[in-house]
Structures are given as C-alpha cells and as structure tokens.
Amino acid sequence: MIADFEEINSKLFLSCNVGMPPHGDRSKLYELLLIYNDQWHVTGGSRLSLDAPANNVLFIYDLSMAGLHLGRLVASIQSFGELACNWRQIISKPSDDAVRTDLPSDGMMIRI
C-alpha cells in the first residue's frame, strides 16, 4: 500500500497493486472494473485502474484531509486494506471463472 499526500487539494491518496489478471480473455474482468468504477457514489469514490505497460490492476482511494481525525484515518486505511485483499482474490481468478457483475456490495465499499 502506498500513501501519497497532495498538498494542493489536501487529500491523501491510497493505492495498492492488487495483481495482474491471468492470461486469456480478460473482457469479463475489465467489464467488472468498469462497473465498479461507475458505482463511485456507492463505493466512497474508490476505483480501479490498469498500470500500463505491466497491466497490473491498481486499487485507489482518495481521502480528504479536511476534518480528518485519527479514528477516521485508521478506519479508512483498514477498510482500504480489506478491500484490496478482496480485489486481489478477484483479480487472481482464472479468466474462465464466472465474474460477478452485481458489484458493489457492502463488502466492496470503503467504510469510514
């Protein structure tokens, strides 16, 4: 997990490499990533992207520092870490496995 502070916007950006999808047809997985990204209003703004040229999937969340207290910071980092583990499991599945497209669920949101 990497944490970067952006002073201009007073935001803490959390990011984590959650893995490289297995070789083969990745279209179902990429569709799932797009569906998840479209649910930003439900997921707390967390998102997924591809890190070119390696094609690793990155899990990203930005947290406003305005009014941030230690308890909220700890809860956000813990939630981010749990979600990163969930995404790591999803990303590592062989492309032949069925990929659920009914995300996000309660297990895929940043809880603060």
Mean pLDDT of the chain: 85
Using the predicted structure, report yes or no on whether residue 111 has a pLDDT greater than 70.
no
pTM over 0.75: yes
Using the predicted structure, report yes or no on whether residue 78 has a pLDDT greater than 60.
yes
Confidence of residue 98 (pLDDT cuts 50, 70, 90): very low
d(CA 82, CA 26): 24
Ordered by where they begin, the domains of the chain are 2-108 (3.30.1460.10)
Give DSSP secondary structure letters for 6-22. ETTTTEEEEEEEEE-PP
Q: What is the pLDDT of residue 95?
A: 61
